[in-house]
Structure 1
Amino acid sequence: MEPKIEKAAVRPDEVDVERGSNKEQTTPQVKDLASKEGAKVETGFDEAFLVTFGPEDPENPLNWSRKLKWGITAAVSGTGFVRIMVSTMMAPGIEVIAKDLDMTTTQSTLALSVYLLATAFAPLVIGPLSEVYGRKPLFHITNVFFLAWNLICGFANSKGLLIAARFLAGAGASAVYSLAYGVLGDVWSKEQRGKSLSMYLFVPLTGSAVGPIMAGFIVEYSNWRWMFWATTILQSVLVLASFGMFYESYAPVLLRRRAEKLRRETGEANYYADIEKRESGRTTLWKIRRSLTRPLRLLLFHPTIQLQALLAGINYGLLYFALASFSALHVSAYSNSIAISGLHYIAICTGTISGSQIVGPLMDYAYKRLKTRFTDVPELRVPLLLPGALFTPIGFLLYGWAAQYKLFWLVVDIGAMLLSLGMQIFDTTLGAYVMDAYPEHISSASAATQVLRSLMAFGFPLFSNSLYKSLGYGWGNSLLAFLSIGIALPATGILWRYGAKLRAKSESSY
């Protein structure tokens, strides 16, 4: 059955954009917020003085050189690597840290997952503020903030300080979950979305495996505190490098700066950017309040964001459920040392990296093919959700029942690889859908979907031990598989057939 999306264009009152795009995504478009009867509008803004980007304007981030675009992509990718690595690296050292700081297993697991709790709420501030003050200052501030608190984790001498420092480090790290997608949306066109996402994700996704592997050897042969000290050193290098590689990419901020420069240089006060017209007469407090409430408004009143947040949340929660228990399984069932048990995270890393590299080219190919049959709408991303929805439960079942009957360890690892591959395909496709559906406020939309995602990633690992003790790995993972496919498949069908109608019911994202 074909989706009803051929004529499901967004309503005119939805096109409230600060940086829209034409077919080639080369020039920002603006909506006439006042009278259309002449160039001189009722608000006093003369259209002749509206500052925009020209079709081949070199200052338009979409027209930047490929070298500059890849440099910025590398900057956000490198910082993403450290932040994701730090999120998972405590897994092999949970028992050692618990013993050293007199923590219960639940408390030490909390120290692992509280990092994810911070990433649920901090993007609600970081993402919107980047749409007021620009990407660059928020990127550098959060980099330094994360570095400082990750360093403090290494010096923590009490469970309270460790948990608090992990939470604050997670708050700084959370910028990658909102800023990165915003930056990629700023500089890459929709036709290049798959390729740019694949290249951006390649390095950070290795962090989910490098963290536990590195930590396993550190815990066994050194002091667990070096997990934090070593990553702080690496983060310091990346922070210094980013100052020369990262440039402001948010078009509304760049256009506002251009308008201010024209007013200064020409003495003509009538030059203005569209964002200035929209915010004319508004106080700074109003602008910040409007910006900070945007992610919550999207989550509360936009059905597409609600559905995306639920799907991404369950997906991410299940992944961290597997990450939290994976090392312990190989230690208890296969008599591995802590260091060797960390090597099995290579299977999960292989799955996530493979998923990101497979889905990117497929996404661009499918988009170009489907665009010849249907109207260019975000729902053209949806078909690629299906492989992810199927691979994930298959992986859970193979991983669970192989562990239940203690089959050769490679079978367990293949199951883990398949589930992480499916999750990555699903998650990357959802990310592209959000970027297409909310091009003017990608960071705020990403922050809105991040809330449930991080909350579930925080909460699911807390119950992994209890679930496996009660049901065993076989039925425990079967439950997770049924939960995954029971939600993902129907939701995919809803987005494909009714996604455009759901978006049409939403108010402007501004």
Structure 2
Amino acid sequence: MHSVAGSPGDPKCWSTRLRCAILMNICAYVFIGNLYAAGLATGFAPLAHDLGVEFDTLTGLVAWAVFALGISNLFWMPTAMCIVFLAGCTWSIKATGFRDLLASRIVASFGAGSIEALGPSIIADLFSERYFATAMALFALSLCAGSQIGPMIAGFVIGSKGWRWFFIVCAILGAVNFLASVLFLPETTFRHRLTDVGDVHAAEFEKEAKQRTEHRENENSPRSYWKDLISIRDRGLEPEGLKCWPGQFSLPFRFICVPMVLFATIAYGIFLSGIVLISAISPQFLSAPPYHLSSSAIGIYTLSSFLGIVIGYPIAGPFTDLLSRWAAARRYTTNNTHHPKDRMPALIIPFLVAPPGLILFAYAIASSKSLYVSATGYAMQASALVFVPSVTMSYIMDVYPQSGSEAIVLINAGKNVVAFGVTVSGAGWVDRDGIVRVCWELAAVQWVVLALALPLYV
């Protein structure tokens, strides 16, 4: 029994232009959502003045937004409505006080998190294995770009127009993305029909199905595009309808005790914590003497973290794949057997680079060294955001090819909860112990967490 790849309505048979348009829509959505959540940190100085609150209180605006982004992964998987994000942005524009602004950011981030849960599933529906990695790479890069370039964009907007204009820009981008999604984001869930291929060899059937997928592109589908846009037939609806809806919430929790999923969640979350913590406390140090940086200048400074991601991204993927092939070849088997754990030695790179970067940042800021030194440490810490997910999520998808997306939902939610726990107490932690001690302690935790990969590998 095999699924027919060329079935009418199969998203993999849609035209290349439509599939790319859908990919661009979800990449734009994840970019805007993370831009909204992380960008505000560069505007803490004018916010503190306008709202009459301290810097350590303002960190909650980032921490709770990160928390809502993560928790929404568990909720939005069965019920996605991006209009909530647009409503939250509009509320932020009209916020009159700190609590009002905090509530609006939680609502907007809760809506924005929907695409972090649905994006990988949509990409899997649209693209065959041959193109899946490329599409996922673009999605992941858009996610990182939103959180790392976002503060720079916010810095310039807040510096020239004020912090409310940052939310106006987010609302405009969200409205355009929402309209584009209405027009160019049809439902992609599709329940493939099974067919008995008889004596046809499986490899020949798969080859034929692949050719249909790549060349027919739905040319014989009876539906027009506009009918397909609003149709939900053949879209994998559960036979029991809404009766199964509550059960969808429990699916990711099946993996909560799986060691590799726990490791991926904690490792991803603790390195994300380092980035969010730096982003939240940097304005407090950089806007004060001896730096006296404006919001726009702080925005440019935070771009260093994205440079770390851009530099690390081409290394992370190819390097882990190379390790996997090399390990398989060393077994001297006739078929070069691949083991999912073969990628895990790549975690040595973030072990050697990321925690020292956090320590370098702390010493540079504490001793008022050149901004280039602390920016280098910031970039080193950020590089872990491509290495850790590249290794751990590839491992999980290898081990659980059919249900791995549910584990990814749990990881996305868990990592943001871990980052929230560190960030929400970050400002008080720094005030009490000093930035150097805080970064040393966090770096030590990162080293210990990565060391836990050794038992999983052995």
Q: TM-score, normalised by structure 1?
A: 0.73
Whether the 8 Å CA contact 2:74–2:409 is kept in 1: the answer is: yes
Whether the 8 Å CA contact 2:85–2:110 is kept in 1: the answer is: yes
TM-superposed CA distance for 1:318, in Å, is 2.0
Structure 2 SS opposite 1:477: helix
Whether the 8 Å CA contact 2:321–2:343 is kept in 1: the answer is: no
Per-residue CA deviation, residues 387-428 of structure 1 (Å, 9 max, x unaligned), is 223221121122122223222210111111111012322123
Name 1:99's counterpart in structure 2: 49
CA distance in 2, matches of 1:336, 1:106: 19
The answer to whether 1:212 aligns with 2:151 is yes
Name 1:348's counterpart in structure 2: 305
The answer to whether 1:122 aligns with 2:79 is no
CA distance in 1, matches of 2:394, 2:185: 22
CA distance in 2, matches of 1:396, 1:108: 22
Per-residue CA deviation, residues 27-77 of structure 1 (Å, 9 max, x unaligned), is x96xxxxxxxxxxxxxxxxxxxxxx324x6685555666555433322211
Name 2:351's counterpart in structure 1: 389
AA paired with 1:223?
G
Name 1:38's counterpart in structure 2: none
Name 2:208's counterpart in structure 1: none
Alignment of 1:5-84 (within 5 A): 52-54=3-5, 60-61=10-11, 67-84=17-34
Name 2:135's counterpart in structure 1: 196
CA distance in 2, matches of 1:220, 1:213: 11
Whether the 8 Å CA contact 1:319–1:420 is kept in 2: the answer is: yes
TM-superposed CA distance for 1:185, in Å, is 3.0
TM-superposed CA distance for 1:323, in Å, is 1.3
Name 2:455's counterpart in structure 1: 494
Whether the 8 Å CA contact 2:188–2:235 is kept in 1: the answer is: no
* Aligned pair partner of 2:95 in 153, 156, 162: 156
Flag the 1:393–1:207 CA change in 2: closer, same or farther, 3 A.
Answer: same
Q: CA RMSD in A?
A: 3.2
Whether the 8 Å CA contact 1:388–1:422 is kept in 2: the answer is: yes
Alignment of 1:291-330 (within 5 A): 291-299=248-256, 301-330=257-286
Flag the 1:121–1:255 CA change in 2: closer, same or farther, 3 A.
Answer: farther
TM-superposed CA distance for 1:429, in Å, is 2.8
Gaps of 5+ in 2: 195-220, 223-232
TM-superposed CA distance for 1:355, in Å, is 2.6
Whether the 8 Å CA contact 2:274–2:358 is kept in 1: the answer is: no
TM-superposed CA distance for 1:164, in Å, is 1.4
CA distance in 2, matches of 1:359, 1:57: 36
Whether the 8 Å CA contact 1:194–1:359 is kept in 2: the answer is: no
TM-superposed CA distance for 1:181, in Å, is 1.9
CA distance in 2, matches of 1:468, 1:102: 21
Flag the 1:428–1:177 CA change in 2: closer, same or farther, 3 A.
Answer: farther
CA distance in 2, matches of 1:423, 1:243: 32
Name 2:163's counterpart in structure 1: 224
CA distance in 2, matches of 1:375, 1:274: 36
Whether the 8 Å CA contact 1:195–1:361 is kept in 2: the answer is: no
* Aligned pair partner of 2:366 in 401, 404, 409: 404
Flag the 1:286–1:297 CA change in 2: closer, same or farther, 3 A.
Answer: farther
AA paired with 1:306?
L
Whether the 8 Å CA contact 2:190–2:234 is kept in 1: the answer is: no
The answer to whether 1:358 aligns with 2:297 is no
Q: Among all aligned residue pairs of Structure 1 and Structure 2, give the percentage whose two residues are the same amino acid.
A: 22
Name 2:393's counterpart in structure 1: 431
CA distance in 2, matches of 1:74, 1:226: 25
CA distance in 1, matches of 2:269, 2:277: 12
AA paired with 1:493?
L
Whether the 8 Å CA contact 1:193–1:432 is kept in 2: the answer is: no
Q: Which moved more, 1:477-486 or 1:187-196?
A: 187-196
